[in-house]
Amino acid sequence: MSGLTLERVSVRRGRVLVLQELSVRLPPGGIVGVVGPNGAGKSTLLLAVAGLLAHGGAVRWQGAPLGGRDIGFLPQAFAVRANLSVLECVLLGRREALGWRVAETEVTGAEAMLERFGLSHLAARPMTALSGGQQQLVLLAQRLLRNPRVLVLDEPTSALDLHHQLDVLRHLQRHARATGGLVLTALHDLTLAARFCDGLLLLAGGALVGQGTPAEVLTENRVGETYRISPEILQARDHCPVIVPH
């Protein structure tokens, strides 16, 4: 299975090439992390893949152009100001299937998704009454209810505490493996990326400087050069790398 293919994808802002031509093939059924320092081009790449930013080259899923209904996108900066309940917000993930009257099966599916994320007790609460971290969880549940082929996430754990960071990434792992889809996500925490991602794309200066498994990409030399630090790579009890910056 070909999965997600990027063919010479590039982005310009005026005359400046902010994302250099990038060609990769990412297999389905897993999580691919996009890592790199600030300004590396992570968000630019995700917006291009999601079809929200004009770009050169082609983005394909299983050999065909990636369409809007195939994509679930969650940006880094968000705020829900609409007068919606949590349940109503999650239901919007299925907006194409909703009519004037919402079928009971749709409501049941949204309630089950809230339960998966431990949010059932918030179902009737207004979105505007939630914390940033709670809104982030609700919006992620909304995207998963859509059951996209490619889920594109820009820092999905940025507003979450440690427990919810681990919980969300486990949910994403299970989603990708159960559906055969792909999760493409930007992550700043290299240790989380090493633990949960099947593959990594390392960007710097708008260019791809590393691709492979976390162990292949997150070496002391490469991390040190890219982030301008002196890292120490340790090993956790489960043998996953732990990146300690110095």
pTM of the entire predicted model:
0.92
- pLDDT score at 1: 55
User: For the domain with range 1-66+149-246, which CATH number is right: 3.40.50.300, 3.40.50.720, 3.40.50.1370, 3.40.50.1000?
Assistant: 3.40.50.300
What's residue 102's pLDDT?
65
Intervals of the chain under pLDDT 50:
none
User: Residue by residue, what is the 3-state secondary structure of the chain?
Assistant: CCCEEEEEEEEEECCEEEEEEEEEEECCCEEEEEECCCCCCHHHHHHHHCCCCCCEEEEEECCEECCHHHEEEECCCCCCCCCCEHHHHHHHHHHHHCCCCCCHHHHHHHHHHHHHCCCHHHCCCEHHHCCHHHHHHHHHHHHHHCCCCEEEEECCCCCCCHHHHHHHHHHHHHHHHHHCCEEEEECCCHHHHHHHCCEEEEEECCEEEEEECHHHHCCHHHHHHHHCCCCEEEECCCCCEEEECC
Q: pLDDT for 161-210, tens place per residue?
A: 999 999 999 999 999 999 999 999 999 999 999 999 999 999 999 999 99
> Residue 28 has what pLDDT?
95
Res 98: pLDDT = 56
Could you state, in order of their start, the residue ranges of all structural domains in the chain? 1-66+149-246, 79-147
pLDDT, one tens digit per residue, over 40-62 is: 999 999 999 999 999 999 999 99
